[in-house]
Amino acid sequence: MLLRKRLSAAGLCLLATTLSAPALAQQARGQPALTALTAKSGVARAPEQAVVVFEHADLRFRIDPAQRRLDGDAGLTFRALQPLSRLVVDLDPSYAIEAVEIDGQALPAAAWSNPEGRMAVALPRPLAAGARTTLRIRYGGHPHVASRAPWDGGFVWSQAPGGEPWVASAIEGEGCDLLWPCIDHPQGEPLLVDEAITVPAPLVAAGNGIAMGMEEHDGWRTWKWRAKSPDTYAIAINVGPYELLSADYASRYGNLIPLRFWHLKGNEARARALFEQFPKMLEFFEATIGPYPFGDEKMGVVETPYLGMEHQTINAYGNDYKLTEYGYDWLLQHEFAHEWFGNQVTNADWDDMWLHEGFGSYMQPLYLQWLRGDRESDAWLLFQRKFLVNRVPIVSGRSMVEDAVYNDETGPGNDIYYKGSLLLHTLRNLIGDQAFFAATRQLVYGTTDPRPGNFKPRYATTRDFIDAVNQATGRDYGWFFDVYAYSAALPELVARRDASGLSLQWKAPGGKPFPMPVQVRVDGRDVELPMAAGRGHVDLPPHALYTIDPHARVLRALPHIDAYQADLAARLKAAAEAAQQPAPRRGD
């Protein structure tokens, strides 16, 4: 996901230098508020949800842009791991439920309830362990409208430049239950999803996975798609007057990967220029991380009326074809990174979301290092460093909902992006590229030697990554993660010059052990200090010049950045207060 909605004043100013969004669709006025449960994604699963395998979701959507209405028909097949007397799914209760069936048998209204958005359906007969059943729910209504997509979840009803309807869903924050009856938890992925999206002709509905055909009847088109193991929030609606760019990429692993880009009419020239970046990104990621996880489906991108989001094999793109000063589209690259970090490996709990966002953010400086060299890569890392808040650890060690993680006021917020990225950069410099990328592949694929066909999408936790690092290095790096992941404050490096040289000592939060090696440049020569027990000393000739950590390899407290952030926040506050003062009258 993109950097989230709750930013400090300093963060807003910094974001303005790189992020811009297209005009937002009309905001919803007067729509009912979401229930507390529907507004949160990642609430602990009901006991019945935790003991089923979600084998298949057969989803049929009819989108009426003129009425801003969605009608859905969802067939959900579950296999029970334990005996069950009812099924439980999540669905926004603002939808009217027209019918509920179990294995084709219609149920009376008394057999189900959905007061707060957690829908419980009593089974006509108990389901034995190992048995399967299909729950069918027909529903409809006006889906929740996103007031500020993608940061606020819901539907975006917009118009293309030619006046045609342009519709998209952006539901990561609030969850899949804004669109379809699902298990709104990171571990609620269905193994297989079939989508049939019906829209007014001649509109196009681009979807997840593989195209299964299109049918046209009575002025409506039904576009069919099939995807394996998509994230629940990655199942997306994208409808518009699209044109399609197509190509194939010959992977280093011997397979052909379909490349697809649905762009608006009138944007072909700009779209073709962006489309040329697709093979470059695939080359980088496959060489650096491993095989593209969905090569048997596609690498897909669709132009959207909001800035962007990672939707498995159909990433949303709304950056208006703007390149950074480094000559690449950061949004396209960031969302594509989530195909590995988010869609292939999925956080087992929202508390592990830094695995998505931290790795996704670190891929930008790594990509720039390959594409442009060290200067651009270092510049992006410095840019990231200016964002850190360090009020809350990026991992709490307990189960979390989405909002509690992304909330910059009460949770780690944007630190899961940039602190996560800088944590990874520090780790890479500490353990070396071979061990770092071996641990990364273990996290992503469950193996250090991934090949097409020998891995499947998987769940992972922060503990899994720590174990992968320890396995790759043969050492225990728990102390590293205790400070960077499970502590809020950054370690401070205290330097004192004495008669013989320079003494260095780490002060880690809570007095935790922190034997982080440090480089010191002395008159142009780099000296490595092992910092055993968190201390080190380097001899200095009289009047020698020195620089601590000259290559910025170690994430640490930096007073000059703290001062910069405080000064910027004060100036922005003063400007905001001045803007609220009444304008002087003529003659005053």
State the Cα–Cα distance between residues 347 and 351, nearest whole angstrom: 8
At the second CATH level, the architecture of 23-238 is Sandwich (2.60)
Rounded to an integer, what distance in angstroms lies between the CA atom of residue 92 and that of residue 180? 8
Each residue's pLDDT tens digit, 536-562: 999 999 999 999 999 999 999 999 999
Q: What is the pLDDT of residue 123?
A: 98
Q: Where are the beta strands (DSSP E) in 234-370?
A: 238-240, 242-250, 256-264, 299-303, 308-309, 315-317, 345-347
> Cβ of 133: how many Cβ atoms within 10 Å?
19
- pLDDT class of 293 with cuts at 50, 70, 90: very high
pLDDT at 336: 97
What does each C-alpha distance from 302 to 40, 69, 205, 261, 428 come to in angstroms?
A: 27, 22, 10, 6, 33
- Residue 274 scores a pLDDT above 90: yes
Q: What is the pLDDT of residue 32?
A: 85
SS3 439: helix
Q: What are the distances in angstroms from CA 262 to CA 81, 303, 382?
A: 40, 6, 34
Average pLDDT over residues 150-160: 96
Say which amino acid occupies 54.
F
pLDDT at 4: 54
Bridging pattern class, strands 192-200 and 52-64: parallel
Q: What is the pLDDT of residue 31?
A: 85
The residue to which tokens 């699209």 are assigned: 242
> Which residues, 6+ apart, have CB-to-CB distance to 6 below 8 Å?
406, 407, 408, 409, 413
pLDDT for 397-437, tens place per residue? 999 999 999 998 899 999 999 999 999 999 999 999 999 99
Supply the pLDDT for residue 158. Answer: 98
| Residues facing 138 on adjacent strands | 73, 99
Where is 228: in which H helix or E strand?
strand 220-228
Model pTM? 0.93
Residue the block writes with tokens 């027990």:
533
Q: What are the structure tokens assigned to 534, written together?
A: 């968190």
> Is 241-321 CATH 3.40.50.2300?
no
pLDDT at res. 14: 42
Q: Residues 425-439, buried b or exposed e (16+ Cβ, 10 A)?
A: bbbbbbbeeebbbbb
Let me know: does 315 contact 343? Beta carbons within 8 Å: no
Report the candidate in 345, 366, 350 with the shortest Cα–Cα distance to residue 464.
345
Residue 362: phi, psi to the nearest 5? -70, -20
As a whole number of angstroms, the distance between CA 413 and CA 353 comes to 10
∠215-217-223 over CA atoms, to 5°? Answer: 30
- Rounded to an integer, the average pLDDT of 159-188 is 97
Nearest to 148 by CA among 248, 16, 273, 3: 3
Q: What are the backbone angles phi and psi of residue 213, rounded to the nearest 5°?
A: 115, 170
Residues with Cβ within 8 Å of residue 531, at least 6 apart in sequence: 504, 506, 515, 516, 517, 518
CA dist 451 and 65 (Å) reads 43
Residue 588, pLDDT above cutoff 90? no
Q: Which residues pair with 518 in a beta bridge?
A: 529
Spatial distance between the Cα atoms of 219 and 521, rounded to a whole number of angstroms: 72
Q: Residue 475: which pLDDT band, with cuts at 50, 70 and 90? A: very high
pLDDT at 260 over 50: yes
> Which residues sit opposite 529 in a β-bridge?
518
Q: Do domains 23-238 and 492-559 have the same CATH topology?
A: yes
How many C-beta neighbours within 10 Å does residue 72 have? Answer: 22
User: In which order are the strands placed within the sheet that holds 220-228?
Assistant: 105-106, 96-102, 132-141, 69-80, 52-64, 192-200, 220-228, 210-217
Q: What residue ranges do the domains of the chain occupy? A: 23-238, 241-321, 345-484, 492-559
> Hey, what CATH class is 345-484 in?
mainly alpha
pLDDT band at residue 11 under the 50/70/90 scheme: very low
8-state DSSP, 115 = S
**Structure confidence by residue, pLDDT tens digits, 446-461:** 999 999 999 999 999 9
Per the CB < 8 A criterion, the answer to whether 264 and 321 are in contact is no
Sequence-ordered list of residues with C-beta below 8 angstroms from that of 432, at least 6 positions apart, any chain: none
Closest CA to 62 of 119, 118, 143: 143
Q: Is the pLDDT of residue 438 over 60?
A: yes
Any idea which of 22-36, 401-415, 484-498 has the lowest mean pLDDT? Answer: 22-36
Residue 9: the pLDDT is 35
Which fold, 492-559?
A: Immunoglobulin-like (2.60.40)
Summarize the confidence of residues 212-228 as an average pLDDT: 98
Residue with tokens 């280093």: 252
Please give the radius of gyration of the chain, using alpha carbons only, rounded to the nearest integer. Answer: 26
Q: What is the pLDDT of residue 28?
A: 54
* CA nearest to 238, candidates 290, 308, 296, 183: 308
- Residues 196, 73: contact at Cβ < 8 Å? no
User: What number of CA atoms fall less than 13 Å from residue 135's CA on the CB side?
Assistant: 27
Residues in Cβ contact with 124 at an 8 Å cutoff, skipping those fewer than 6 apart: 102, 105, 107, 111
pLDDT at 21: 37
- Predicted local confidence at residue 172, as pLDDT: 92
The whole-chain average pLDDT of the chain stands at: 94
At residue 349, does pLDDT exceed 90? yes
131-144, pLDDT tens digit by residue? 999 999 999 999 99
Helix (H, G, I), strand (E, B) or coil at 467: helix
Q: Is the pLDDT of residue 10 over 60?
A: no
Find the mean pLDDT for residues 72-76: 98
What are the CA-CA distances from residue 448 to residues 210, 283, 444 (Å)?
28, 19, 9
- Specify the pLDDT at position 577: 87
Sign of torsion, CA 551 556 558 564?
A: positive
What H or E segment, with its residue span, contains residue 99?
Answer: strand 96-102
Instruction: Tell me what pLDDT residue 579 has.
Output: 87
